[in-house]
């Protein structure tokens, strides 16, 4: 009897949790079904991308540039040469964009907002993901706009990074603590895709629970 009661309570808790998230306006934008709609742009425009339901391979013909994005057991994993994976939509403007991320020791990645689809390193705001890479700009930085040099999270550790964008006001939170609060007077990027970065051979990044809450236009 107790086991049945416990099971019922678990169902109630889970259902309530999902309901609260729905009421708050949070939407999951990357999962097993939607992974196929996300598009990979290799670092080199001459490279090809081979896709399946769970994997997107960058085929460059050069082991230093080949790479892979894989979605398995609720987790997005990337390795190999430079590439980025972009959300299907390119019209995100004002929002809260949150993900749980883990970066390998000496690894480098990024959580992009309002970015354009393209090869190389795309144009858009980047919330840096980097604990111990040679680049001194650490996790929580708004790359090249307002940088964090302190290591906020160790490598090989799951953490939450949230980017809040309202007009030209950008806030980055790491594990719910504000790392950057910045106003871009030049209004550099105002609309675009979300994206995640695979920075270089030897680096690896894992991403899960990717959600967005869109905010009213100002």
Residue 23, pLDDT > 60, answer no
Per-residue confidence band for 24, with pLDDT thresholds at 50, 70 and 90: confident
User: Could you give the strand order of the β-sheet that contains 83-86, starting from the edge strand earlier in sequence?
Assistant: 39-42, 83-86, 193-198, 109-115, 125-129
Six-digit token string for 209:
């629970």
pLDDT for residue 187: 98
pTM value > 0.85: yes
pLDDT higher at 63 or 177: 177
Beta-bridge mates of residue 72? 75
Per-residue confidence band for 13, with pLDDT thresholds at 50, 70 and 90: very low
Percent of all residues in the chain with a pLDDT value above 70, rounded to a whole number: 89
pLDDT for residue 11: 47
Six-digit token string for 31:
């999962």
Residue 169, pLDDT > 80, answer yes
Please state, in angstroms and rounded to a whole number, the distance separating the CA atoms of residues 52 and 32.
12
Please state, in angstroms and rounded to a whole number, the distance separating the CA atoms of residues 51 and 40.
9
> Mean pLDDT across the stretch 30-54?
96
For every residue of 145-203, DSSP letters joined together read: TB---S--S-TT--EEEEEEEETTEEEEEETTEEEEEEE-TT----SBEEEEEE-STT-
For the domain spanning 27-214, the CATH number is: 2.60.120.560
Per-residue confidence band for 194, with pLDDT thresholds at 50, 70 and 90: very high
**Domain map of the chain by residue range?**
27-214
Residue 12, pLDDT > 50, answer no
At 70-83, the pLDDT tens digits run 999 999 999 999 99
Residue 34, pLDDT > 50, answer yes
Residue 21, pLDDT > 60, answer no
Residue 165, pLDDT > 70, answer yes
> Mean pLDDT across the stretch 35-39?
98
pLDDT for residue 102: 98
DSSP H helical segments within 103-143, as ranges?
none
> Mean pLDDT across the stretch 14-35?
75
pLDDT for residue 86: 98
> Mean pLDDT across the stretch 95-119?
98
pLDDT for residue 6: 54
pLDDT for residue 22: 54
């Amino acid at each position: 009897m107790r086991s049945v009661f416990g099971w019922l309570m678990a169902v109630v808790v889970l259902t309530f949790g999902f309901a609260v998230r729905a009421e708050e306006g949070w939407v999951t934008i990357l999962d097993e079904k939607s992974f196929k709609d996300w598009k990979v742009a290799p670092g080199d425009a001459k490279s090809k991308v081979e896709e399946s339901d769970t994997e997107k391979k960058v085929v460059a013909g050069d082991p230093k540039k080949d790479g892979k994005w894989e979605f398995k057991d609720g987790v997005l994993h990337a390795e190999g040469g430079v590439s980025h994976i972009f959300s299907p939509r390119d019209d995100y403007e004002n929002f809260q964009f949150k993900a749980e991320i883990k970066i390998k020791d000496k690894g480098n990645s990024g959580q992009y907002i309002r970015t354009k689809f393209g090869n190389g390193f795309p144009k858009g705001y980047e919330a840096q993901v980097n604990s111990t890479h040679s680049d001194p700009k650490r996790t929580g930085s708004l790359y090249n706009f307002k940088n964090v040099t302190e290591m906020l999270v160790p490598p090989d550790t799951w953490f939450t990074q949230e980017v809040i964008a309202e007009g030209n006001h950008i806030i980055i939170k790491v594990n719910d603590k504000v790392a950057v609060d910045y106003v871009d007077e030049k209004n550099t990027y105002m609309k675009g895709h979300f994206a995640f970065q695979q920075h270089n051979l030897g680096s690896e990044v894992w991403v899960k629970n990717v959600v967005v809450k869109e905010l009213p236009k100002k």
